[in-house]
Amino acid sequence: MVHEFLFAEELIEGRIYRLTTTIDVNKVGDDEVLYKAMKNNKFEVLQEKSDGNFLIRFEEVYEGDENRFKGVDWVRWDEVYTLPKTISGSIDAAKSSKESIAGLSAGPLIVPFKFRLDDDALGFIPVSTQSAKFVVQLKS
């Protein structure tokens, strides 16, 4: 099975997504302060509100240490935030996120390859890290 990591068409409750850009969000109950969520932060969509915005909770949080981020209020993993339907007034929230695929289907595929050095020895090469020239003989 091949997974293509495409932008989400829509955000679906209960699914986990990864931000593709750094954004500002409001914490539920605190509309005065904007909290910064870094690119690659993972979040779960808890609910789509009637106004089209989303209630989200971050599951994996990164913070920037560059000078431009001095004094920034960062999102926290245990708080609920409002993700606006459109970011910066023009970018659809779904287009700034990718669904996060994790578990057994995620990551690089490493296939071990076994071959015979002679009649008695069996060799092993992890294909992802080494290469070798060899001849494969099939016994009938």
pTM (predicted TM-score): 0.62
User: How many C-alpha atoms does 122 have within 13 Å on its Cβ side?
Assistant: 3
What are the residue boundaries of the structural domains of the chain, listed by start? 16-99
pLDDT tens string 3-53 = 444 455 688 888 988 888 888 898 998 888 899 999 888 999 999 988 888
Burial of 54 (0-12, 13-18, 19+ CB in 10 A): buried
